[in-house]
Structure 1
Amino acid sequence: MEGLNRAVCHVDVLIVGGGPVGLITAIQLAKFGHSGSIAVIEKHLKSSQDQYGRAITLYPRSSEILDQLGLADELAQECFACRSTVSYDKDGNEVQGRGWYFMENMKDTQWDFALVLRQKYQEEIFRRRLNELGVKLEAAVELIQVNVDDAVQQGDYKITAVTKNRMTGEDQTIMCKYLVGADGGRSFVRRTLDIPFNGSTTEDKWVRIDGIIETNMPKSRVYGSIESPAHGNVLWAALDHAATRIGFAFTAERQKQYPDFNEAAAIAEATASVKPFTLKFHQVHWFTVYSVGQRVARNFFTKDCVFLAGDACHTHSSGAAQGMNTGIHDACNLGWKLSMVLDGLASPSLLNTYESERLPNIQKLINYDKDISRLMTMQLPSGWKGDPNADPNEILGIVMEEASTFTSGLSIAFDLNDLNVMGSFESSFNPMPVSPGQRGPDVHLQKPGTNEATRLHKETPNNARFYIVVFSGEPKHTSPSLRNFSECLEGSKILSDARLPISWLTIPAKSGPSAFELLGIMPFGKLFYDEEQTAHLRYGIGIERGGVMVLRPDGWVGTSTALNEDAVVELEAYFKSVLLIDS
């Protein structure tokens, strides 16, 4: 924001951290109409920090939510799309069903693969998009002081932040309504506000090294593992631009061999870790050695105005490749909520659901990661009650398979709250495939007239709007219900208020030459056909009764109602609890 050039400037939101989490948060706010009222600062000049390493993998749900923000296509253009995996035992024999095998079975999504693109390239794409939206990333600008005035009411300028330009030495005072700390595991925002960062760091160390390699491994352009007696469960990941990442445990015994762990040492250990296969580096892009730990901030939202996101509020090993994914989920849970509050469309109390929805899922990940990180270093999980002589590699495969839908993000769900409300809808299927608080599945549809194929996620982009999706079933059965619903809707001042962030879709379980002739009424919003009835089936909606689903802006199901005249009353009650609506 140009105001950063003044001695004191005022912004609605100050975002601290120019990595993927900060950039995606900023992109959302800019996309939702706040480009002139946000500032994004980054401590490091990107030219000095653009290393190849760090995060590499986006799982399906992360790709889906980025797709609904219009960000995934460009990532897909440049990525290595990984759909194949392999596991080798210590002798180089292929072992079935272990390691990353679950990645071959990520179904129920268009993005049924691991999108592998190093953080360097992802950030380049995100920075370009942010710039296109009229927001400049300010670097190298460091946050050096934060004060929150508790006497100022929420929504006003409660925060006084002081930054320093590390190039010129000049200080800047920024007054803001909200501050987002996306400034990494050593977060200044978290530390200066004295937010406890609970957890522990183990003595275990891991090495990661990226580069252009040559090997005799039979299957090398995959996500794989090698069960090394000396280096644990070794990660082998094919990367973008024909590169490869190798990661392994670095035991205390092996650390003693290297007073100085330099590039030559990293190459030597990587070469030893993949035995019996050969390995030759033609070029090293990046390497690191780091300690493994799991920590969670006590609060993700504090003082009614400060948020933590990504590594600033949770850190864990890279064992399950969740770091960037969890940060993206944080950003996309927060972005639309913050935008609606800034626009006066929702009460500030909506912001409390950021922590209540994200924290339980992070804790679940931390518990899972503790087991994963131990197993990858050839140790059985803490408190293990099974066979004490069990093979950690075998247990690892079981644990990763059991957690597969959580790892892919497709089963990440939220508890019931004001946003996630059980409605009157009763599924024709038991158990109900999709409930409030769960991801809204991406289903295939057809456009009217041309019968072109499309997808529900494509037709419900994240524009900080809710979608009311009327699954109208088979019209010959549901026509009376549709008419009653339509008549009641005409009398609803709330649901017909164009000022509210609500859009409509109608999905009949049949196609026809005319939407009106097919339904007997005009459709609600845009209409798309579900001629093969797969969309109704996936959402658990019987074609003889139909149903209504509300999708949140981020793509999770908000509520579901029966298709009848009472649905209008239910929907009004739902939106009254979520949005600021004039009675």
Structure 2
Amino acid sequence: MRLNMRSETAKIEYVDVLVVGGGPVGLITAYQLARNLPTPHKVKIIEKHPKSAQDQYGRAITLFPRTSELLDQLGLADSLAQQCFACRETVNYDKDGNEVPGRGWSFMENMKDTKWDFALVLRQKYQEEIFRKALKQHSIDLHAPCALVAVETLDNVGPNGYKVVATIEDRTTGARSIIKCKYLIGADGGRSFVRRAMGIPFEGSSSEDKWVRIDGVIETNLPKPRTYCAIESPTHGNVLWAALDHGATRIGFAFTAERQKAYPEFNEEAAIKEAIASVKPFSLSFQKVDWWTLYVVGQRVARSFFVKDCVFLAGDACHTHSSGAAQGMNTGIHDAINLGWKLSLVLQGLAKPDLLYTYESERLPNVHKLINYDKDISRLMTMQLPASWQGDPNADPNADPNEVLGTVMAEAATFSSGLGIFYEPDSILSLTQSSGVSSVLPGQRAPDISLKKPATFEPTFLQTETPNVARFYIVLFAGDVSHIKPSLAAFSTSVSRHRWLFEPDTPISSISILSGGGGPSAYETLDGMPFGKVFYDEDKSGHERYGVDVCKGAIFVLRPDGWVGTVLELGSDAVNSLENYFKRFLTLNAGPKL
């Protein structure tokens, strides 16, 4: 769909990327581009709501471990941690107020294999403040209130051309102007103007279920109020009780058709009254209400996340669902980070434009997994068995939805925490070239491991040493050097003959990890110059976590976003395999044939 509302006299501004939407997804996308793109690349971000409206309380609250890791690699997580409520404890109460272990949010107590082993709870208001401040440090301001009111895509525009013509309107003055951009990113929420203007179907449905969420400062006799808590209410479904930042608490519950009959108009007073009823047998009173909402539960997915070779959708603009599993902002941030580094490399001419198609091919399957999961979760939280339950001949039609909910959430634990999210093997980014080399495979998250720096033996982490700056990392697990010197020598000889692959103008960095406590000189340990930066795996736990035999070693390519690209055997053929991997999507300078 094209909307051509250009004025012949309108001012025209040229930018590389126009980001529409000033929520976390838009801000993080713009931040990555601003951080990674050198001058004179230009990024602009607009938001139709005034800043005061954007700063309201409410909306999303929870970041799970994988999201925190991703933000940490962007240099943003520490600021979030300064203000957050770090939730490591959960509790589940039945209708009589008795604790029932193993139900509700109990999976959150087993989110290990990461230093971010907790739910980072910080309301969206405060997250956005942090992201806007980080963006401003790169000389980019959020333009608000400023709305996209028309968009047109141009045909027959060559590579790296300005394919999109956008009309924007200053909501304060009413003035309109034209922006020509190479790429347009719609991060403008569930009612996305970008999605509608491009005619992208938003497929799915809304249910008859309604939920209430209310935030505020409370008093209660609930025994463990500063937790992520579930209360199995016979009248309000599986009630969410979440300790928030700044001493506040969120209560969330199902607002059934039966309960709705009592309220010709549902207002804040009604929300408070229902919240008090939802947490019985415990008492609840509000000292202050920060925010409340009533919304309809549903699930929808855009048919395409990338159209016309120049327009992207991210976050709620391309997928919406309930807040039952607290995945909304997490999934949107994963979209933003997946897209950010890819677009950064393409705009710099370091990657082929075809790389951008992997955004949809990687994100869409994971969104569908979430949607299917959310359909079950949202029904169970309203005390209904999943639709698939009726089609299972072995299912108990009288099963307790609370028990089933606990089982479903436990089964989906690694997906919910994000630590188990993976991208299917393909012929581009998640490339299988060797088998049996490690237990961590292409397409899986690269686990964080503790390391020590040479000479000083200062502790550090692999994810700390592999920040997301739109660069790939070749990580050599060198194992026990005394056992694998021949393989290391063969690899080093091959590298020295093909230095062009590792030149500074390629978006590739190198790291060597040696098992053991290390000596006074990495050069002497290796009998030569190390491959990239050197770190020690003192107790060999890093090699063990990756399933690497210390007597054989292995090579991993880590993507900028911290997923494994490919895994290789250590030896003379490894550089050939590295070129085979990178030439699929990077525009490498023509060096010697390997």
Contact 1:56 1:116 in 2 (8 A): yes
Match status 1:564 vs 2:580? no
Whether contact under 8 Å (1:440, 1:557) holds in the other structure is yes
Matched, 1:396 2:401: no
In the alignment, is residue 537 of structure 1 matched against residue 541 of structure 2? no
Query: Are 2:421 and 1:412 equivalent residues in the alignment?
Result: yes
The worse-fitting range, judged by mean Cα deviation, of 27-36 and 37-46 is 27-36
Q: CA deviation at 1:493?
A: 4.2
Which range is displaced more, 146-155 or 483-492? 146-155
TM-score, reference length from structure 1: 0.97
Residues of 1 paired with 2:93 and 2:567: CA distance? 47
| Deviation of 1:581 (Å) | 1.6
Matches within 5 A, 1:281-320: 281-320=286-325
Equivalence map 1:11-410=2 (5 Å)? 11-34=15-38, 36-384=41-389, 385=392, 386-410=395-419
AA partner of residue 466 (structure 1): F
Q: Which deviations, in whole Å up to 9, do the C-alpha atoms of 1:333-355 show, x marking residues without a partner? A: 00000000000001100000000
CA contact (8 A) 1:181 1:308 kept: yes
1:423 and 2:427 correspond: no
How big is each residue's C-alpha offset from its partner over 1:93-112, in whole Å with a ceiling of 9 and x where there is no partner?
Answer: 01011000000000100100
The answer to whether the Cα contact below 8 Å between 1:154 and 1:304 also exists between their aligned partners in 2 is no
Residues 1:481 and 2:497 aligned together: no
Indicate which of 583, 589, 593 corresponds to 1:582: 589
Alignment correspondent of 2:6: none
Cα displacement string for residues 482-503 of structure 1 (whole angstroms, at most 9, x for unaligned residues): 1110011011144232210010
Matched position secondary structure for 1:27: helix
Separation in structure 2 between the aligned mates of residue 235 and residue 27 of structure 1, nearest angstrom: 32
2:491 match: secondary structure: helix
Paired position in structure 1 for 2:521: 514
CA distance in 1, matches of 2:122, 2:189: 20
- Any idea what SS the aligned residue of 1:172 has? strand
Any idea what SS the aligned residue of 2:429 has? Answer: coil
> Could you tell me which amino acid in structure 2 is paired with residue 474 of structure 1?
D
Deviation at 1:426, TM superposition (A): 2.7
Moved more, 110-119 or 383-392: 383-392
Residues 37 and 348, structure 2, Cα contact 8 Å, conserved in 1: no
Structure 1 portions without partners, runs of 5+? 1-5
In the alignment, the residues of structure 2 paired with residue 450 and residue 426 of structure 1 have an alpha-carbon distance, to the nearest angstrom, of 35
Distance in 2 (alpha carbons) for counterparts of 1:425 and 1:136: 48
Deviation (angstroms), 1:582: 2.7
Q: Which amino acid aligns with 2:317?
A: A
Report the Cα offset of residue 549 of structure 1: 0.4
**Contact preservation (8 Å) 1:504, 1:525:** yes
Residue pair 1:426, 1:562 contacting (<8 A) in 2 also:
no
Q: Supply the AA of the counterpart residue of 1:570.
A: S
Do the aligned partners of 1:150 and 1:303 also contact (CA within 8 Å) in 2? no
Structure 2 alignment gaps of length 5 or more:
1-9
AA paired with 1:424?
S
3-state SS of paired residue (1:529): strand
Cα distance in 1 for partners of 2:499, 2:75 equals 32
Specify the alignment match of 2:3 in structure 1. none
Check conservation: 1:145, 1:161, Cα contact below 8 A.
yes
Are positions 1:461 and 2:467 aligned together? yes
Alignment correspondent of 2:447: 441
Q: TM-score, normalised by structure 2?
A: 0.96
Partners of 1:271 and 1:223 in 2: CA distance: 18
What is the DSSP-based 3-state SS (H/G/I as helix, E as strand, rest coil) of the residue aligned with 2:215? strand
8 Å CA contact 1:440–1:555 kept in 2: the answer is: yes
Indicate the larger mover: 541-550 or 143-152.
143-152
CA distance in 1, matches of 2:159, 2:130: 34
Q: Distance in 2 between matches of 1:434 and 1:99?
A: 30
Secondary structure class of the residue paired with 2:501:
coil
Distance 2:487 2:43 in 1: 46
Aligned to 2:582, what secondary structure does the other structure show?
Answer: helix
**In the TM superposition, what is the alpha-carbon distance from 1:575 to its structure 2 partner?**
1.0
Instruction: Check conservation: 1:195, 1:298, Cα contact below 8 A.
Output: yes
For residue 295 of structure 2, what is the amino acid of its counterpart?
Answer: Y
RMSD of equivalent CA atoms: 1.1
What per-residue deviation string (whole Å, max 9, x for no partner) do you get for residues 208-265 of structure 1? 0000000000010000000000000000000000000000000011111111111110
Structure 2 distance, partners of 1:86, 1:433, is 34
The answer (yes or no) to whether the contact 1:154–1:177 under 8 Å persists in 2 is: no
- Aligned residues of 2:502 and 2:509 also touching (Cα < 8 A): no
> Aligned partners of 1:34 and 1:318: how far apart in 2?
38
